[in-house]
Amino acid sequence: MQQIDIQRMASEARLGSFQYGVLIWCALIIIFDGYDLAVAGIALPSIIKEMGVGPTQAGLLVSTALFGMMFGNILFGTISDKIGRRRAMAICIALFSVFTSAAGLCKDPILFGVARFLAGLGIGGVMPIVIAQMTEYAPQRVRSTMVTLMFSGYSVGGMLAAVLGKSLMESYGWQSVFIAAGLPVLLIPLILRSMPESVSFLIQRGRTRELARLAARLDPAYHASADDRFVIAGADGSGGAPIRELFQQGRGLSTLMFWLSCFMCLFMVYALSSWLAKLMASAGYSLGSALTFVLVLNLGGMLGAIGGGWLADRLHIKFVLTGMYLLAAVSIGLLGHPMPTGWLYLLVGLAGASTIGTQIVGCAYAGQFYPIGIRAVGVGWTLGMGRAGAILAPIVIGVLVAMGLPLEQNFLAIAAPGLAAALAVLMIHHARSASVAAETGIIHCRQNEEGRSVEDCHR
């Protein structure tokens, strides 16, 4: 009987159509996800006018999606490996497509908020699933790059909402940008047919035929035989509650540090996205210039995600992440000081790269840290706990702005969490990372079993 370590096959596989297919589908889902989250902010002025709500109530309407995302991160991150990632993806896409579209048909603020909360469940729920999926099937040497490239689609979705939103709202009203968000539901059958299932789910269900077909796609040299037995070498876990497993095998402190760093990072991201335009306008810039700063922030986030992922595959991901958080603290802290506009744009771009981009690199690190059986759970709880920072940030900075503090102090308050996040990442016990264990196993096989082919190391 041959034991086939299919996860190691995926880690050592060459990049090909299979991996690019997973990347394209996951990136497309994240683009839709980013569009659905950003669309409420794009349409907010029109919603305030038509529904007759005040700024405070309007802010609560927008934040309902964030509450939904927090619960969605945790819920679907926890259950996706039990019901199958493909099925969990389909449920999330249906949720954020149908209920974002439904929000466009609501004329009552309460019904609108309920629809946005239900959409938020799907928006947040799909994130840990696609991160776990891309981490599982990306070759180890380019894993961080592929995860961050995939997740940079989030910024693309936000920019798509801004570009399409203007023309659609001018022609058809604010409802049109929400109704258009229902189109991705049509892709669910294609995703169910094209997206591979999680390896651990297939092994748990004993679906050996699917595993054999998957192994053949990962390694063309593999030839199935009737007595093949598929395993995941080094897979741990007691089979008990997945949440408890996040704190086992010496992962307890690291799990808390992932949560803390994500909380601090999302605090910075949402503080900037919510208040940057207002703070710049109060500093004397025109509204058009202030909105340009927001665009530069998101562009920097996309470049930071891709660049950070590229660096993380070539250097130590833990120290790349630490450096990006320190850059966030410095660049944001300097924004409150007078300087030429060109330098200010550069700092805003760096702030976007080191907050939005760093959040994506941080998710990639969490995906690589946890073993395959609890990967989606680990990423889901990291995002779920971090989402509290996203919810608190607009409120906390709003209070500081209302106090009439100098501009420099407002930006220092946004920058300070970057230092806390850097310290948290430094406290992560990298030696407990599943990626380290996998790499050690591959090297051990190659060094101590000379004469065997690479394919034999899978057995």
Whole-angstrom distance, CA of residue 432 vs CA of residue 436: 7
Domain boundary among 186, 213, 233: 233
CA angle (105 as vertex; 103, 110 as ends), nearest 5: 55
442, pLDDT greater than 60: no
* Local confidence band at 63 (pLDDT 50, 70, 90 cut-offs): confident
Based on the number of CB atoms within 10 Å of its own CB, is 51 exposed (0-12), middle (13-18) or buried (19 or more)? middle
78, pLDDT greater than 90: no
* Local confidence band at 446 (pLDDT 50, 70, 90 cut-offs): very low
| Residue 457 maps to a domain | no
Q: Which among 8, 3, 5, 117 has a CA at the least distance from the CA of 71?
A: 117
Its pTM surpasses 0.85: no
Are 304 and 353 in contact by the 8 Å Cβ rule? The answer is yes
150, pLDDT greater than 80: yes
Residue-level pLDDT at 238: 43
Residue-level pLDDT at 8: 82
Based on the number of CB atoms within 10 Å of its own CB, is 156 exposed (0-12), middle (13-18) or buried (19 or more)? middle
Q: Which residues of 162-174 are buried (b: 16+ CB within 10 A; e: fewer)?
A: bebbeebbeeeeb
Highest-pLDDT range among 34-48, 97-111, 203-217: 97-111
CATH assignment of the domain containing 393: 1.20.1250.20
Assess whether 424 and 354 both reside in one domain: yes
| Residue 458 maps to a domain | no
The alpha helices in 335-406, defined as continuous H runs, are 341-369, 375-402
Tokens linked to 43? 């349409």
- The sign of the dihedral angle between the CA atoms of 347, 349, 354, 356 is positive
Are 55 and 33 in contact by the 8 Å Cβ rule? The answer is no
- Phi, psi at residue 96, to the nearest 5°? -75, -25
| Residue 443 maps to a domain | yes
Assess whether 114 and 189 both reside in one domain: yes
Assess whether 216 and 260 both reside in one domain: no
What residues make up the domain containing 33?
1-233
Strand partners, 3: 229
Tokens linked to 407? 């501009």
The residue type found at 35 is Y
Assess whether 216 and 257 both reside in one domain: no
Residue-level pLDDT at 416: 94
Assess whether 118 and 256 both reside in one domain: no
Residue-level pLDDT at 444: 47
Least confident range from 45-49, 220-224, 237-241, 367-371: namely 237-241
Domain boundary among 182, 217, 233: 233
The DSSP line for 198-260 is PHHHHHHTT-HHHHHHHHHHH-TT----TT-EEE-TT----SS-HHHHTTTTTTHHHHHHHHH
Q: Which among 253, 423, 248 has a CA at the least distance from the CA of 329?
A: 423
* Local confidence band at 267 (pLDDT 50, 70, 90 cut-offs): very high
Are 47 and 58 in contact by the 8 Å Cβ rule? The answer is yes
433, pLDDT greater than 50: yes
| Residue 459 maps to a domain | no
Residue-level pLDDT at 452: 46
Span 74-98, average pLDDT: 89
Span 328-332, average pLDDT: 93
* Local confidence band at 241 (pLDDT 50, 70, 90 cut-offs): low
Assess whether 226 and 279 both reside in one domain: no
Assess whether 328 and 193 both reside in one domain: no
CA distances (Å), origin 64, targets 1, 39, 123, 135, 391: 54, 13, 12, 30, 9
Residue-level pLDDT at 342: 83
Are 381 and 124 in contact by the 8 Å Cβ rule? The answer is no
Are 355 and 328 in contact by the 8 Å Cβ rule? The answer is yes
Domain boundary among 178, 207, 233: 233
pLDDT, tens digit, for every residue of 217-231? 888 877 777 777 777
216, pLDDT greater than 50: yes
| Residue 48 maps to a domain | yes
Assess whether 186 and 262 both reside in one domain: no
| Residue 170 maps to a domain | yes
Whole-angstrom distance, CA of residue 174 vs CA of residue 168: 7
Whole-angstrom distance, CA of residue 12 vs CA of residue 181: 38
Span 271-285, average pLDDT: 72
**Greater confidence, 159 or 191?**
191
Whole-angstrom distance, CA of residue 233 vs CA of residue 457: 11
57, pLDDT greater than 70: yes
> Which helix (H) or strand (E) covers residue 5, if one does?
strand 3-5
CA angle (355 as vertex; 141, 89 as ends), nearest 5: 60
Assess whether 391 and 273 both reside in one domain: yes
Q: Which among 321, 313, 298, 375 has a CA at the least distance from the CA of 134?
A: 375
Span 335-347, average pLDDT: 84
Assess whether 6 and 44 both reside in one domain: yes
Intra-chain end-to-end CA distance of the chain, in Å? 10
Computed over every residue of the chain, the mean pLDDT equals 81
236, pLDDT greater than 60: no
* Local confidence band at 239 (pLDDT 50, 70, 90 cut-offs): very low
Least confident range from 129-133, 222-226, 449-453: namely 449-453
Residues 6 or more apart from 370 whose CB is under 8 A from it?
A: 246, 251, 377, 378, 379, 434
Residue-level pLDDT at 306: 85
Assess whether 248 and 211 both reside in one domain: no
| Residue 163 maps to a domain | yes
- SS (HEC) of 306-320: HHHHHHHHHCCHHHH
Tokens linked to 146? 């592929």
Tokens linked to 192? 């169910």
* Local confidence band at 233 (pLDDT 50, 70, 90 cut-offs): low
Q: Which among 161, 171, 120, 391 has a CA at the least distance from the CA of 269?
A: 391
| Residue 260 maps to a domain | yes
Span 387-409, average pLDDT: 81
Are 341 and 201 in contact by the 8 Å Cβ rule? The answer is no
Return the axis-axis angle of helices 55-83 and 375-402, rounded to nearest 10°.
Answer: 170
Residue-level pLDDT at 288: 57
Tokens linked to 33? 């996800």
Task: Name the domain count of the chain.
Answer: 2
Are 457 and 449 in contact by the 8 Å Cβ rule? The answer is yes
pLDDT, tens digit, for every residue of 184-206? 999 999 989 889 888 888 888 88
Assess whether 132 and 202 both reside in one domain: yes
Residue-level pLDDT at 453: 44
